[in-house]
Each structure stands twice: as structure tokens, then as C-alpha cells.
Structure 1
Amino acid sequence: MSEKSSAEPLSMTVHSAPLPGERAAMTRRGRWQALGVVLICAMPVLASYYSFYVMGLSGKAYGDLIVPTVDIPESLSLRDLAGQPVSVASLKGQWLLTVVQPAACDKACENQLFMQRQLREMLGKERDKLDKLWLIPDDEPLRPELQEAVSKGIPVQTLRVPRTELEAWLKPAAGAKLQDHIYIIDPVGRWMLREPVDPDPSKIKKDLDRLMKANAGWDKPGR
């Protein structure tokens, strides 16, 4: 090192801490920015609700609109067919076409699962916005051929949930049973539609078409 450089004094820049008023302004700005991000992410879902509840589409819905909507319980005890726990958060991010049927799955159950598959396919290019979900309220094993059937193509997400927990969340229509309906859950995890007993698939599709059209900005691919 040269004598000139060694003789030069070190200089340090001291930055003053923000004043209390400045800190408050920075905090407010950060909160507004975070709120803006949340609103942008929520806009597609909000648009669908606007269409149903504000623009009058609610009167045209084939299924029963759930007012107010019911959040999926964060404490819901979900397990896959191998018995491994599944987080509630993993169900969010897609529309869910949901059936509740026992593992024994009789003819009516098989028909409902077939309808669930066909409804998704009938959506065409919009189908990747919709997942198929089968909630099983018991611990009985699935028949091998049935397990193979729900695993073909785009598989049905099949999860076990205690019946008491399901009954505390989803409600059938008066005089009906939990397994009599198809339930529609939105991407935020809210139950918002219950389709009728013995439904007309073409009319359920119209409900789904309206949701997908109102929710055109939601383009997250299927899981």
C-alpha cells in the first residue's frame, strides 16, 4: 500500500433512522401494497360472486346458492387412501366438483362419479379450472376395480373425512342425505352451491359455465 493511500483517513456515511412519522408512513404504504396483492389474487373469485349475487344470475342458478357461503373448516381431518394426512390448504386454488359417498359405493354412487367426470369433460377448454373431489365418510376399503376407475385419466382426488366433521360443514336439502347432492366449492375454499337430488347434468353444466365465464381470469392449471 502506498504512503498516500495509507495516510488517507477512512470515511463513513451515517444514515439517520427514520423519524416516527416516516416509519408510520412506510408501514401504511406496506399494508396498502399487501392489500393490493390480495385484491388482485382475489379478483377472479370476486367476479364470479358479483355475477351470481349482484347481476341477477342467482335467480338463474339451477342449484341452491349457499348464502352466506361456508368456509371449509381448517380443522377438517383429511386423509388419503393410504391413511396419510392431507392439508386443507391443498384443496384451495381450484373449483371443486365434490361428491360425498361411502367407500362401498353402490350403483347410485357410481352414477354420481360418472356424472362428475362427464361434467368436467363437458366444460371443454375450461375444465382445467375444475377438480373432481370424492369425500369418503368411513374407513372401509375401496374395491380394486373402483379404485382403478377413479385413478384413470385425470384422477378423482379421493379423501377420507370423519362423517361428523362432514356433517358439520356440508348440509343436504331438507329430506335429503349428504350423498344425494353434488357440492361446488370455490377456489378460496368456500362451499357456495348445492346441486339438486337426481339432477339434470345439462343444467349443472349451465351453473358451471356461468361460474367459469364470470371467473375467466382464473387460469391456474389443475393440480
Structure 2
Amino acid sequence: MTLTVHSLPTSQGLAEAQRKRGGRLRMLMVLAACAAPVLASYFTFYVVQPSGRAYADLIVPTVDIPSTLHLQDLQGKPVTADSLKGQWLLTLVQEGSCDEACERRFFLQRQLREMLGKERDKVDKLWLLPEDSPLPRPELLKALNQGVGVTILRAPRAELQAWLKPAEGQTLLDHVFLVDPMGRWMLRAPPQPDPSKLKADLSRLLKANAGWDKEGR
């Protein structure tokens, strides 16, 4: 019969293990502290809803912008989905031909941002243009770029349809979608919305996130 002798851990080894455990614990505490304001603001808006029921459709759970979304600018340069994070995005999906109804939606998009007053610098305007759609007219581009311009990005139609969803009986063209600074689609406005009621939803969201959300990417 043989006996196996296992060496006991040294005091140095025990100290090293304790340091590693302590480091991991501190890292988890820092992550929890960073996430707490975000989680609290979402809980307040989605669950508590201090100002009553939301006018627009809240998307629960929120839907992350796909990291594989193939975005390009109008010159064909690839744009990463992560580059859109850091700002609230008032988002429209519209055809390049852009009829009268489409132009009204862009006016609404601009109006909503301006109605936010001093909070408007936390919000960007985004036009997602289906890849198989014609390019916008030069005069439309000129009008949209007056003041704070609209960011225009092209993407495959199927990929947009897989991410953003219209209400029953509607199309993607009918809605204003709101994407939060973490890249999550979280609100869908009804077709032909009441600007003042939709602005109230946006103001509540910005107020709920005031502790961590700052203007500018």
C-alpha cells in the first residue's frame, strides 16, 4: 500500500487566491453600480410608469440593434451598428422616392426633436433607407440637412424587417421608432401620432434616464 502526501497550500498561495477573489468582487460591484441607474430608470418607466400609461407602444423586452446589420452611408461606405449608440434615435424607415406622406413624417421627426427643448441634444434623427430603394431626391436631402441634419443609412430591407416590427395591419413606413442610447428599439409611435402626446412619452423617458444619459455620443 502506498501513501500519497499532498502539500498544504502556502500562506503566499492563500493570499494570492484571496486577492483574486477580492478583485473579482470589486469588479462585480463596479459593474452593478454602473448598471443600477439604467436598470432603475427602465423599471420606473416600464413598470411604475409614474405619469400614467404610455401613448406609444412600449417594446417589452427591448430589441437590440443587430450587430450584423449591414449599414452603409449614401456613398456606399460601411457603417457599424455600434456607431449608432450613445444617443436616442428618432428613427424612420422610408423609401427613397418619399411621397407627401413620407415628407410629413420627416416634418414630425424634426418637430418632435425641437419640442424637447434643452433635452433635444440627446436625440438624433435617423433615416433607414432600404437598400433596394432609389436614392433620395437632391432637393429632399437639402431640406433634411437644414439645421441639425438627418443621418441617412442604407440597409437590406429583409434585415430591417427582421429587427423593427410594425403594428398589426401597418407597415414599417407608418411608424416613428425610438432606439435608446444602448442601441435597443424600445418604443413605436402609432401611425399619424399626436405630436404632443408622443413628446410627453419622450420627455418621460429622458427624465427617467437623466442620471446617466448625457448629450452627444
- Class of the TM-score when normalised by the shorter of the 2 chains: 0.7 to 0.9
Change (3 A) 1:45 1:102: farther
Secondary structure of 2:181's counterpart equals coil
Distance in 2 of aligned mates of 1:191 and 1:58: 21
**1:115-154, aligned counterparts within 5 Å?**
115-139=108-132, 140-154=134-148
What does the per-residue CA deviation read over 1:106-141, in whole Å, with 9 as the maximum and x for residues that have no partner?
111111111111111110111111111110013422
**1:18-37, aligned counterparts within 5 Å?**
19-37=12-30
TM-score by length of 2: 0.87
Is 1:99 paired with 2:99?
A: no
Quote the offset at 1:93 in angstroms.
1.1
| Residue in structure 2 matching 1:186, options 175, 180, 184 | 180
Aligned to 2:5: none
Change (3 A) 1:23 1:180: farther
Moved more, 84-93 or 31-40: 31-40
The number of residue pairs the alignment matches comes to 207
Quote the offset at 1:40 in angstroms.
4.3
TM-score by length of 1: 0.85
Quote the offset at 1:186 in angstroms.
1.1
Quote the offset at 1:30 in angstroms.
3.1
Secondary structure of 1:60's counterpart equals coil
Aligned to 1:209: 203
Change (3 A) 1:142 1:37: farther
Secondary structure of 2:125's counterpart equals strand
Q: CA RMSD in A?
A: 2.1
Residue identity in the other structure for 2:99: D
* Higher Cα radius of gyration: 1
Aligned to 1:167: 161
Give unpaired runs (5+ residues) of structure 1. Answer: 1-16
Quote the offset at 1:62 in angstroms.
0.6
Quote the offset at 1:58 in angstroms.
8.7
Give unpaired runs (5+ residues) of structure 2. Answer: 1-9
